[in-house]
Structure 1
Amino acid sequence: MANTKNNILTILGTSIKPGESIEANFDVANLHTSTPVNVPVIIERSKKPGPVVLFTAGIHGDEVNGVEIVRQLIAKGINKPKCGTIICMPVINIFGFINLKREFPDGRDLNRVFPGSSNGSLASRVAHKLIHDILPHADYIMDFHTGGSGRFNAPQIRIAQNEKQLSNLARIFGAPFVLYSKNLNKSFRQTCVKLGKPLLLFEGGKSFHIDDLITNSGVNGAKRILNHLNMLGSKFKVSTPKKDCIFINESKWKRAKYSGMFKASAGISSKVQKGDILGNITDPYGKFNYFVKANNTGYIINVNEAPIVYQGDALFHISTKLKD
C-alpha cells in the first residue's frame, strides 16, 4: 500500500483525507504566451483503506483514444473506489495534446526520457515530476496508449516476459491479446519496473482517432482490474471477455515490397493462414496490382491504414509464436 501520514494522502501539495475527492494541478511550465497550463489530476479516495491505482494516458500528445478511456472512467464514476484510492491523469503530455503532436515542444518523446531530471529539458522535467510526485503513491499503474499515425493496433496489453504478477493481471484485464515485449530504455514502463511498481501498458487503435471497440476494451479491462482489487463500485457490472486472451511470444512485421496505393483486406485481430491475401498495392494508373500475402500463420495485431505506402513500410504486424 502507498504510504500515508495520519491516513492523509498528500499529492502535489494537496492533502486528501479518506472519502474526499480532489483535483490537484500537475503544472510544470507555462505556454510560450505566458499562459498557465493546468493539468488536472483527479484523485478519489474511499473511506475504506485499500490499494492506490494510477490511470495514465496522453504520454504521447496525439494518442487521444487513451485519453478517452481515462475520461470515461472519470465521467462514468468508475474512478470512485469502494476502497483505496484512484488517481487519474488523462493527459500527461498536455503540450503535445494542445499542439496535436506526439512529442513535446522541445522535440523529445516523453516516453524516452524517464526518469527525467528536475533541471533538464521540458519533457525531462515532466517525467521527473511524474516519477517523484505521483508514482511513489501508486501501488498499481495502467497506462493507455494507441498505435502510431495510420497504424491501427488491436486492443492489447504489453508486458515483458517472466513477470508472473503482470501476466496474471493481464489475463484479468482481458484484452484480446497480450504481447510480450521488452521494456524500452528510459520508458515509463521500464522505470516503473525498476521501482517495483507493476504497470500494465494498454495499446489500441491509432493516433488522432477514437474507436468505440478500443475504448470499450480499455474501460472494461480497467473495471476488471478494479473488481479484482475489490475497488469497483457495486453499481458497475463486470463483463466476461468473449474469448480467452491470446499470449504472443513473438511477432513480425509484413513490409511493403513495392511503393504505391495500399488497401488492406484482412481485418484487425483476425487469424490468417500462410499464403492468405492480406491486401493489395496498386499504382495510380491502373497498370499494376500486387497482392500482399501472409508469410506465416498468425493473428493480425496491427494494420497500416495509410492509403499510400513506400517500399519497406510496415503493413501488418502478425504473431509468429504463441505462448504454449
Structure 2
Amino acid sequence: MSEKDVLDILGEKVASGKSATVSFNVAKLHTQNRIDVPVIIERSKKPGPTVLITAGIHGDEVNGVEIVRQIISKGINKPKKGTIICVPIINVFGFIHMDREFPDGRDLNRVFPGTKGGSLASRVAFKLVNEILPHADFVMDFHTGGADRFNAAQVRIVKGEKSLKELATVFGAPFVLYSKNLSKSFRSTCNKLGIPVLLFEGGKSFNIDTTITNTGVNGAKRVLHHLGMLNSKFKVSQPKKSCIFVSDSKWIRANYSGMFKPTVKINAYVNKGDVVGNITDPYGSFNHFVKAPNDGYIFNINESPIIYQGDAIFHISTALIDD
C-alpha cells in the first residue's frame, strides 16, 4: 500500500478501506481529566474525495449534533469511495455545560484560524484547522439558530461560487441564503484555504426538531450521492419543493417590550402589511400588532414568550433570486 493510501491524522494512520475513531485531544478540565473529542473516520478502498462533516461549534446547538449522530448511526458516513470524517461535537466544553461559548467566554466561531498559544477556544480552532481541515476536500458544517430564534432549514453560501450553488441545490433545504463569510469564522477560514463548505442552519438551541434533523440528514445523503460516495443501500429522495434562493434579508425588531406571540408559521410567505404577530402586556391593556414591512418569506421566528424593545423577532427575505 502506497503512503498516499494512508490517512495520517491526529497522530494515527488510517489505511484505505479501514474504519477508525481517533481522539481530538482538546485540553484538560481543571480536575486534570482529559477531554477527548471522538473523530469518526470511514474510508473506502476506492479512491475519492474526503468529506468533513462537523457540528457543535456552539455547545448549545444540539440539533446539528443530532444530525451528525444520525449520519453516523445509520452508516451514511461509510462511503462507496473516498473518505468521510465526522466530528459531531467540536465545542465539547459548551456541550457538557449546555453553553454556547467556551469556558473562557469566547465564541469558537469568531477565533478561527486560532493560534497555538492563544486562549482555549483559539487553541482548539488552531488544532482543528491544522490537524483535521487540511485533509478535507469539502465540508458540511451543521448549525442551529441561537437562543429562542427558530431557523427554517437553510443552507448558507457566498455569492459567485458556482460549485457551492450546485451543491446547495442538491442538498435541497427549503432556503439557500447568500451570506458573506463572517470574519474569523470556520466558514471564512475554509474559504481562504480553498475548501468549499456548505453551512446548514436549522431549528433553535437546546432543542431537537424532527423536521430539521430529517432535512439535514436527507440533504447530506443527496450531496454524498451527488459526489458518488453514498452507499447504494440508501435511497435518495428528491425535495418536495425547489430551493428558494434569498439574496437579501432583514430582521423585524420589536417596537415594544412585552409578551410575544407569532401568528405566522416558519417558511410562510407574507405580503407587506400582513399581521405576523402581536405584543401584549400581562395586564390586558395593550396589544400591538406586528406587521410585515415587505413581501417575503419568514425564515426565522423568535419563539421566546417574553421580549424586549429592539429584540429580533422575525427574519424576512427582502430579495429573491429566480433560480
TM-score range, shorter chain: over 0.9
Tell me which of 59, 70, 73 is aligned to 1:72: 70
Structure 2 stretches lacking a partner, 5+ long: none
1:284 aligns to what? Answer: 282
Counterpart Cα distance in 2 of 1:5 and 1:139: 18
1:171-218 deviation line (CA, Å, top 9, x unaligned): 111100000111000000000000000000000000000000100010
User: Within 5 A, what are the aligned runs for 1:268-307?
Assistant: 268-307=266-305
2:223 aligns to what? Answer: 225
User: Within 5 A, what are the aligned runs for 1:225-244?
Assistant: 225-244=223-242
Identity %: 70
Which amino acid in structure 2 is aligned with residue 318 of structure 1? I
The CA deviation at 1:61 is 0.3
The CA deviation at 1:32 is 1.1
Does the Cα contact within 8 Å between 2:58 and 2:94 map onto a contact in 1? Answer: yes
1:38 aligns to what? Answer: 36
1:118 aligns to what? Answer: 116
1:152 aligns to what? Answer: 150
Q: Secondary structure at the match of 2:35?
A: coil
- Residue 141 (str. 1) matches residue 135 (str. 2): no
Structure 1 runs of 4+ aligned residues shifted over 3 Å read none
Deviates more, 1:4-13 or 1:307-316: 4-13
1:125-162 deviation line (CA, Å, top 9, x unaligned): 00000000001100000000000100000000011111
The CA deviation at 1:163 is 1.2
Counterpart Cα distance in 1 of 2:36 and 2:192: 29
Does the Cα contact within 8 Å between 2:56 and 2:90 map onto a contact in 1? Answer: yes
- Residue 20 (str. 1) matches residue 18 (str. 2): yes
Counterpart Cα distance in 2 of 1:54 and 1:319: 30
- Residue 208 (str. 1) matches residue 190 (str. 2): no
The CA deviation at 1:18 is 1.1
Counterpart Cα distance in 2 of 1:33 and 1:316: 43
User: Within 5 A, what are the aligned runs for 1:311-322?
Assistant: 311-322=309-320
- Residue 89 (str. 1) matches residue 80 (str. 2): no
Counterpart Cα distance in 2 of 1:285 and 1:16: 65
For this pair of structures, how many residues does the alignment match? Answer: 321
1:41-99 deviation line (CA, Å, top 9, x unaligned): 00000111111000000000000000000000000000000000000000000011111
2:159 aligns to what? Answer: 161
Q: Secondary structure at the match of 2:25?
A: coil
Structure 1 stretches lacking a partner, 5+ long: none
Q: Secondary structure at the match of 2:144?
A: strand
Q: Secondary structure at the match of 1:215?
A: helix
1:223-250 deviation line (CA, Å, top 9, x unaligned): 0000001100111011100100000010
Counterpart Cα distance in 2 of 1:158 and 1:221: 13
Structure 2 length normalisation: TM-score? 0.98
Does the Cα contact within 8 Å between 2:27 and 2:36 map onto a contact in 1? Answer: no
Does the Cα contact within 8 Å between 2:81 and 2:229 map onto a contact in 1? Answer: yes
Q: Secondary structure at the match of 1:205?
A: strand
Q: Secondary structure at the match of 1:168?
A: helix
1:255 aligns to what? Answer: 253
Deviates more, 1:178-187 or 1:160-169: 160-169
The CA deviation at 1:6 is 3.9
Counterpart Cα distance in 1 of 2:168 and 2:92: 28
The CA deviation at 1:321 is 0.3
The CA deviation at 1:28 is 2.2
Structure 1 length normalisation: TM-score? 0.98
The CA deviation at 1:108 is 0.5
Counterpart Cα distance in 1 of 2:243 and 2:4: 42
Counterpart Cα distance in 1 of 2:4 and 2:261: 60
1:54 aligns to what? Answer: 52
Which amino acid in structure 2 is aligned with residue 37 of structure 1? I
Q: Secondary structure at the match of 2:34?
A: coil
Counterpart Cα distance in 2 of 1:174 and 1:11: 32
Counterpart Cα distance in 1 of 2:69 and 2:119: 28
